Amino acid sequence: MATQFYNLPESRTDGVEIESIWQATDALQFNLSYGYNDSEILNSGCIVDATGDPTATLIGAQRGSCTGGAQDLKGNKLPNAPQNKFALNGNYTWQLGIGSLSLSASWIWVDKQFGSIFNRPYTEAPSWDQTDARATLRTLDDHLTLILYGKNLFDDVGYNLGARASKQTDFNGNPVGFIKNYDLTPPRLYGFEVQYKF
């Protein structure tokens, strides 16, 4: 596997982020956020996928007007740029005699993304989602805070980046496919945190 850098003559990224907070009651709050990112290569020139498809013969190769093993990637998505992201959070706070107790739950969803300017099935990481929760107990004088949390409660597989791929060969060195390499999010995690302010 080798790292290669390409200077794309022209690309475009358009997007929007929307955030909304609904204070349903003094104790109950909902937060919603959505991000849309539309990226596109407008002009790539002719580029050779030296490590994945140097002859531009695999399914999905985009020869365009390029010759040899070069490809024209106009219209491809930029790497590691999921088109859609969505997050929802709800939290409720009880006022107790000793302080306050807040319970919070969050759910996020991230769209598929490619790990290369060569948008191929072997560079694509699928969409994924994750659920987190947190309980926070805070004393009246705000000196002591106890936090119990769980991340990725359902132990779902998530992807920080698009996939990287390496060629798989037989004993004679003939290519027989690709092995996908993923940058994964952490598995299920629980924790307890104590904060004390002097």
**Res 175: pLDDT:** 67
User: What kind and span of H or E run contains 164?
Assistant: strand 164-169
Asked if 13 contacts 37 with a C-beta cutoff of 8 angstroms, the reply is yes
Tens digit of each residue's pLDDT, the chain (198 residues) = 456 666 788 999 999 999 999 999 999 999 999 999 999 999 999 999 877 788 888 878 888 889 988 999 999 999 999 999 999 999 999 999 899 999 999 999 999 999 999 998 889 999 999 999 999 999 998 899 999 999 999 999 999 999 988 777 778 777 677 788 899 999 999 999 999 998
Whole-angstrom CA distances from 54 to 10, 49, 62, 117, 181 are 23, 5, 12, 14, 20
Instruction: Give the start-to-end residue ranges of the domains of the chain.
Output: 15-38+75-196
pTM as predicted: 0.85
